[in-house]
Structure 1
Amino acid sequence: MRELSEQEKFWQGDFGNQYVERNTGQPLVAANLALFAKALSRAGRIDSVVELGTNAGNNLQALHQLLPQSELFGVEINENACAQARALDIAQIWHGSLFDFPRERTYDLSLSKGVLIHLAPELLATAYAQLYALSQRYILIAEYYNPVPVGVSYRGNSGKLFKRDFAGEMLDRYPDLQLLDYGFGYHRDRQFPVDDITWFLLEKRP
C-alpha cells in the first residue's frame, strides 16, 4: 500500500477536521452556485462530474442545483468530510486520496476547487494527470492564482498553501487542452462573496 505524503496526512487529520467545521453552510453553497453558473456558462451538456477534494460537499450541492440531470462523484481523503458529503445523498463519494482514485471511467467534467493550492509542488504533476485522465471533455480549476509559484503562510502553517498558474501549467503540459473561459470571484462581491478565487475552464480538443 502506498505511503501517504505528509501533505495528505495533514488533511486526513485534525487540521482537516477543523477545515470541515469552518467551511459548511448554505451561504457557501449559494456563492458556489453563482461561481459555477458563470464558470460553466460556455460549456456544453454535462452529464457527469468528478470533484477531486470534495470536503463536506458544498461544491457538489451547488452543482446538484445547477446540473440536476448530472451524475455527481466526489473524492475526499478526510473521513469526517467524506461522511458529511455522503449524508447529502446527491453524489457517490469515494474515501481516499485523489492520487489513488481509480481511473475506471471518464467524466464530462473533472473539477478542482481550493485543492491544488494545498498540494506540495512535487505532487502537482500527478494531480494534473488525474484531472486530465478523468476528464472526457472539460476541466474546471478554481484556485488562488499567481503568475509565479509562491508559498503563503496558512493559519500558522508553512508549506500548506501555494499560489501559482495551475491552469497555465496544465495548458503547457497537455497540448490538446484549450482555454475556453476564465474569471474571478471576489471576497467583496455584494451578493455572492467567495475567497478571491480565479477559475479556468479548459476543454479537450476533439
Structure 2
Amino acid sequence: MKQTEQETFWSGEFGQQYTDRNTRDREEWDNFYQQNWGLTKSEMNARFASGWSSETRILEVGCNTGMQLRGLQDAGFTNLYGVELQPYAVEKAKQTTQHINIIQGSGFDLPFRDDFFDVVCTNGVLIHIAPDDLPKIMDEMVRCSRRYIWGFEYYSPELSSIPYRGNEGFLWKADYAALFQQRHPSLKLVKQELYPYVNTSESGNVDYMYLLEKTA
C-alpha cells in the first residue's frame, strides 16, 4: 500500500526527532500530563479502564515507544499490543518494554483478524491523519475491535487544521468520537472527558478522552 504524505513525513527524520523529543520514563510521562492537564495519564486511564479484566486484550495504534502501553501494564493489564509506523520508534520500544507485543506497521492495514481485540485505542495519533484518510484508519480500528474504541486526542467541536512546528497539513483537531459515530452509527458513546490545558503556554487548548462501544 502506498504511503500517504503524512505517513512518509512521520516515518522519516521528523518522526525520529519527535520520538527522541517525546520519549519519557514512567515518572516523567506522568509528570508531563500532570503539568499540562492537572492529572497524570495513569489517572486518566483509570477513569476509563476501571473494571476491565487484567486479561483484556488491548491494541494501541500508533504506539510510538510504548509509553501508554507501559502505563497500562503498570496498571495490571497483561495482554497488550502495539502497532507503530516508524521503525526507529519500534526499535526504541523494544529496548524499553517487556512482555508487550509491538510491531512495525500501518493503522491503515492492521495485521489482525476481525474482532481480535477487546479494545483498540489511539493516543495523539488521529490528529496526524489527513481528514480524507480518517475513514480508512477508523474502519480498521472498528474491524479489529470486539467491543471498545478508546481515544485521547486534541479536541475541537469542528475539524480544523493547525500548524505544527512550521509545517501545514500534518496536524488537526476535531471531535473524533463524533467522527467515529458518523462513520459507524452503531458505536455508542460510553464516556467522554474534556481536559483543558493548565499549562499557560497552551491556554485555550483542550484535549479529551473518549470511550465508544460497539452495539452491533
- Separation in 1, partners of 2:168, 2:42: 31
Give structure 1 stretches of 5+ with no counterpart: 190-194
- Counting only pairs closer than 5 Å after superposition, residues 1-206 of structure 1 correspond to structure 2 as 2-25=1-24, 26=26, 27-29=28-30, 31-41=40-50, 44-45=52-53, 47-68=56-77, 70-87=78-95, 88-105=97-114, 106-188=116-198, 196-205=206-215
1:11 alignment partner AA: W
- Separation in 2, partners of 1:134, 1:107: 6
Q: Percent identity?
A: 34
Give 1:24 deviation, angstroms: 1.7
TM-score normalised according to structure 2 size:
0.85
Give 1:188 deviation, angstroms: 2.2
Deviation digits for residues 74-130 of structure 1, max 9, x if unmatched? 000111111121221231111021112223251011001100000111110001101
**4+ aligned runs moved over 6 Å, structure 1:** none
Deviation digits for residues 119-173 of structure 1, max 9, x if unmatched? 1111100011011111111110111111111000001110010011111011122
Give 1:33 deviation, angstroms: 1.4
Q: Is the 8 A contact 1:75 1:96 kept in 2?
A: yes
SS of equivalent to 1:200:
strand
Give structure 2 stretches of 5+ with no counterpart: 32-39, 200-204
SS of equivalent to 1:34:
helix
- Separation in 1, partners of 2:52, 2:189: 14
- Separation in 2, partners of 1:16, 1:97: 14
SS of equivalent to 2:163:
coil
- Residue-pair matches, total: 198
- Check 1:135–1:61 CA distance in 2 against 1; reply closer, same or farther (3 A cut): same
Q: Is the 8 A contact 1:108 1:138 kept in 2?
A: yes
Q: Is the 8 A contact 1:182 1:200 kept in 2?
A: yes
1:152 alignment partner AA: I
TM-score normalised according to structure 1 size:
0.89
Considering only aligned residues, what root-mean-square deviation do their CA atoms show, in Å? Answer: 1.8
Q: Is the 8 A contact 1:143 1:197 kept in 2?
A: yes
Q: Is the 8 A contact 1:49 1:73 kept in 2?
A: yes
Give 1:29 deviation, angstroms: 4.5
Q: Is the 8 A contact 1:152 1:158 kept in 2?
A: yes
